[in-house]
Copies of this chain bind each other. A is one copy, B any other.
């Protein structure tokens, strides 16, 4: 019997366009799927990169017209990897056209837009998916399994830091990620979105309130967030205290070439979670020594567990129910039959990589579409995450605790 084809149209040809293409192309080689992905059309702003992507990954068609793509009756699923500011309009149009919609994280630049998107897929009764790929790194999926099965017990502490350092090299040129109008924010939108999603998914807890501080460190872009409020709460003498509306620079290297950049570089957050746990979060693009380092740890009364992205195939577990002399951090390898997703690939103890987490996501999307299995996160959850990000930004700008209770009331999902 031939499996039902699922014809995909992808928007965007950047880094994420490549990784999604890789996932769609690879997924059926590794996984047994109820529907068969067809790499139907790639759509880019410019034709050449789209052509290039098509020839490398096997997309059958190329277009530069998003509207045509979205309304093409031969396409079943629209996969959005365009810059963040385009997510909302594209996803809403796709939903209205009756397409299944998959959207790269973060769902949107603002909670308001995320609300519109969630409403649109709801109204159109189409399935929706957000590519928070880290949920499907086998080791992190195993972390979630340990937590959800009670091995950590009552959670007291959640700590996560997503640290990068590429902004320390002054010639970084990943431009749209440094433009607020396209990216929606800096480390907040790009990195904290992952952390907030993981905290909710792994612990099953909701954010109650947040207090955050935010910083931009580079010359031509050192708009200290609170300065924008016009509300100078300090005594005017410290290094961070600009005269009203005239942000002082924290100049550390050569100016950026592309003109003013207006997104945050780093962020620290203290949060209360709904179960009483304390949650501490950091994100940065200037954290020298951390190229791409997402750390996640949960500590409870029965155990503790942690993961670091540079140790992609490993997690560490502490079983507090063992005799004292046998307790210790145990490094578990999440490959082979020992971990979610990993058995689809190679025998145990053969390393998987970053791109495989996208392939795993594609597998679950296709399974969900071919069965009645639900998929998490959908747009509702993406929306909940977005409101936490909004609260963080507000907290940093107004320098106060912001309560989340009015903003989100969603189940955390599975």
Chain A interface (Cβ < 8 Å from any Cβ of B): 15, 18-19, 22, 25-26, 28-30, 56-57, 142, 152-154, 156-157, 159, 161, 164-166, 168, 208-209, 211-213, 215, 217, 233-235, 237-240, 250, 252-253, 265-272, 274-280, 282, 284, 286-293, 299-304, 306, 309-314, 316-320, 324-333, 335-339, 345-356, 399-401, 403, 405
Contact = CB atoms under 8 A, between A and B. Distances in A.
Nearest to A215: B278
Which of A268, A274, A346 has the most B CB atoms < 10 Å from its CB? A268
A291 B346 contact: no
Nearest to A323: B338
B301 A286 contact: yes
A351 B351 contact: yes
Contacts of A274: 238-239
A195 to B, nearest CB: 13
Counting every copy of the chain, the complex holds 4
A304 B287 contact: yes
Contacts of A337: 324
A331 to B, nearest CB: 5
A256 to B, nearest CB: 14
Interface of A is mostly: mixed
Contacts of A237: 405
A161 B161 contact: no
Given A213-B278, A286-B299, A299-B286, A355 B346 contact: yes
A373 to B, nearest CB: 22
28 contacts: A26-B26, A29-B56, A154-B250, A156-B284, A156-B288, A165-B299, A213-B270, A239-B275, A266-B278, A280-B280, A287-B304, A288-B299, A288-B303, A288-B318, A289-B306, A289-B318, A291-B333, A292-B348, A309-B351, A310-B351, A325-B332, A327-B332, A328-B330, A329-B330, A331-B331, A351-B353, A351-B354, A353-B356
Contact of A330 (B272, B311, B324, B326): B326
Given A29-B25, A317-B328, A354-B350, A310 B333 contact: yes
A110 B85 CA distance: 50
